[in-house]
Structure 1
């Protein structure tokens, strides 16, 4: 059921996804082709905000902070998985893998490599602050527009 909390959560996480994606681009090698990286992350942020954070609003301030941090963690994990799968498909088209199991394992290896690239204080700080603010904004929206 659509409500203001879901909408605010989706918008907030999409904004945080936009900001963090912009911070990650300079951390990658110069030869990286980002393609739809920004758009995929923004849509993923909106979907996670709508489905994960929105329904859990209305339980208090501490729960709102936890909700925001949980939403941000889910966003990061799904983002690493999707971007890893995208890179695996690109490499699979070049016949890099011997079999399907090796390709599936590569998704997690590539996602782990991308996760290590993200371990920069600025990115981590933005994710934490963005998650907390998104959780609080979702809670305010739930209280104001029930």
Structure 2
């Protein structure tokens, strides 16, 4: 009995908006936007990147709300970990999304002979984009921004309970 009532209340409180979730969403939106602007400098000339920065920023908003904001209130060391985790998830989801996007555009142009060739090509694109992103400004923004964002979420959770 206790476990069932505890699980149902924890699920509903996880969905409730809190100040920490709002601060996390705003902070990691900014981290995603800044990291995307830094990543634009690493892209080859002629790469279509019209929606790159807004898309990465929206991933940051989502991850800031769902990961950093929900994990706030568990202490300052956990805040650092949650912030870094959120930033790394922004990077991985962004790389995966744009690798899949490129694969779908190429498959629409009939560049692949089959399904599995397209899947393996998307994995190659993910790895290629990952190595392109391994410059100091992109990961510097993500890591420092993640630490600051995690601390801001923890401060908001402590200030507005």
Q: TM-score of the superposition, structure 2-length normalised? A: 0.87
Distance 1:2 1:19 in 2: 25
In the alignment, is residue 27 of structure 1 matched against residue 42 of structure 2? yes
Which of 92, 116, 126 in structure 1 is aligned with 2:141?
Answer: 126
Bigger-Rg structure (1/2): 2
Question: Which residue of structure 2 aligns with residue 63 of structure 1?
Answer: 78
* Unaligned residue ranges in structure 1 (runs of 5+): none
Distance 2:102 2:113 in 1: 16
Question: Which residue of structure 2 aligns with residue 7 of structure 1?
Answer: 22
Runs of 4+ in 1 over 4 A off after TM superposition: none
* Cα deviation, residue 35, structure 1: 2.5
Which of 52, 58, 68 in structure 2 is aligned with 1:37?
Answer: 52
* Cα deviation, residue 31, structure 1: 1.1
In the alignment, is residue 135 of structure 1 matched against residue 135 of structure 2? no
| Number of residue pairs aligned between Structure 1 and Structure 2 | 146
> Cα RMSD between the aligned structures?
0.9
Question: Which residue of structure 2 aligns with residue 98 of structure 1?
Answer: 113
Deviations 1:32-84 (A, max 9, x none): 11121111111111011111111111111110000100111111111111011
In the alignment, is residue 79 of structure 1 matched against residue 94 of structure 2? yes
* Unaligned residue ranges in structure 2 (runs of 5+): 1-15
| Higher relative contact order (Cα pairs below 8 Å, separated by 6+ residues) | 1
Q: TM-score of the superposition, structure 1-length normalised? A: 0.96
Question: Which residue of structure 2 aligns with residue 144 of structure 1?
Answer: 159
